[in-house]
Amino acid sequence: MIRNASLLLAGTIIGATAAITVSQVPSLVPGVAYAAASDTYRQLNLFGDVFERIRADYVEKPDDSALIEAAVNGMLTSLDPHSSYMNPKDFKDMQVQTRGEFGGLGIEVTMEDGVVKVVSPIDDTPAAKAGIQAGDLIVAIDGEPVQNLTLNQAVEKMRGAVNTPITLQIERKGTAKPFDVKVVRDVIRIQSVKSRAEGDVGYIRISSFNEQTFDGLKAAIAKLDKEIGADKIKGYILDLRNNPGGLLDQAVAVGDAFLDQGEIVATRGRHSDQNARYDARDGDLTDRKPVIVLINGGSASASEIVAGALQDQKRATILGTRSFGKGSVQTIIPLGSNGAIRLTTARYYTPAGRSIQAKGIDPDIEVVQDLPPELKDQVTSTQGEASLKGHLTNEAGGDEGKGSQAYVPPEAKDDKQLQEAIGLLDGKIANAAFPPNPKAAVPN
């Protein structure tokens, strides 16, 4: 078991004398094991040789620490799109983010083909207010191209003091040429759960899974019970659209809030101590009222755990478009004063044993948003996990998901997915995929 590690649904430090010889390794077993170890340490000798040659002959004196950090990060990023090295500052920033408050622009990003790609803007943040959209490519930051930057370097440039401006050059499919967007940095306080009454329907929006999410969900349900009346609520809409994910324990807690029993998610890794199963405890906070979960191409990771659990347990109807397809778990492993590594250590599986890695969750009811005229020629879809270079394949094989629409209209009245969900819960729309009596659908 990896100790002092945190699980997310987001080491070797070599010193100045990097060469390690076989003679320094005791008790090598002759034969195949010896040959394998010998090859490994020969490669480490190669690394040491290159490192020393750079230090001795590079045109300018290099920064040894920067060289080592780049080498370690290169080793991790070669594994998959979600493994990476975090220096002490990045590690501290990540800890602040998972607590639900940090400084910056308010976007979830990844690296694709050498440029920064927006996975999703976070609700009510400077980026969202400036019009940044899921699928946008950030090709330059304050006039500097991002082509030769790592993802961590690009993110670092986008962070900065509160109230300072930054200019992002954006490429958006359907636009004739790149355009600039000016954003003013701010303290990003993530209120990960918001709610409101839609007539007799309780609407709950979860924008991310941080340490405050489950408590926020409990408060939202209590608020809606009081506002509408617990005996009058016809059902709940759980909106996970464009939610990029977050902490595994919070995904489990949110799933548990709607379940009385049964499995929520299982994780399986390379070693048996990385395998775990998470089950629901007695007590459904919504008193078994009907639930509709909204997902789209921007719903990833922890969002997919919740949607998959409620779908497989037949506790909720999933409505919208196919989710992103990030079915892997990252463990944050601290390295003392040297920061931490984010390492992919397991895949997760829904209660029915499905891995959604590179495939996503398919909705029970597919509803595609109507686009306003100004967006007709712009990309409003994500390509999903399957489009990321070096992504883990799905063990079950078969066709990988190609992403789906990720557009959510700013006005509720124009939100086709939301309006259909309200109509289903109000009984104004009939659909065979919507369970008429959720209490009868409880699995044994």
Query: Locate tokens 């329907």: which residue?
Result: 201
To the query of whether residue 359 is one of the catalytic residues in this protein, the response is no
Query: Is 23 exposed, middle or buried (CB count within 10 Å of its CB: 0-12, 13-18, 19+)?
Result: exposed
Q: How many CB atoms lie within 10 A of CB 205?
A: 22
Which position among 90, 312, 364, 415 bears the catalytic label? 312
Q: Which of 323, 326, 359, 387 is catalytic?
A: 326
Q: Identify the pLDDT of residue 24.
A: 35
User: Which segments of 231-368 are extended strands (E)?
Assistant: 235-239, 263-269, 276-279, 291-295, 317-320, 328-334, 340-349, 365-366
Top mean-pLDDT range of 126-130, 250-254, 437-441: 250-254
User: pLDDT tens digit string along 105-155?
Assistant: 988 888 888 889 998 888 888 999 999 998 999 999 999 999 888 888 898
Q: How confident is the model at residue 43 (pLDDT cuts 50, 70, 90)?
A: confident
Q: Which of 295, 312, 301, 351 is nearest to 81 (CA)?
A: 301
Task: Label residue 20 by pLDDT band (50, 70, 90).
Answer: very low
- Confirm whether 326 is a catalytic residue: yes
pLDDT value at residue 435: 58
Domains in the chain (CATH in brackets) are: 101-189 (2.30.42.10), 193-333+346-441 (3.90.226.10)
Q: How would you label 324-360 residue by residue, b for 16+ Cβ within 10 Å and e otherwise?
A: bbbbbbbbbbbbeebbbbbbbbbbbbbbeebbbbbbb
Measure the CA dihedral 51/57/60/63, to 10°.
20
pLDDT at 236 over 50: yes
pLDDT of residue 402 exceeding 90: no
Share of the chain above pLDDT 90, in %: 67
Chain segment 311-323, per-residue pLDDT in tens: 999 999 999 999 9
Annotation says 301 is catalytic? yes
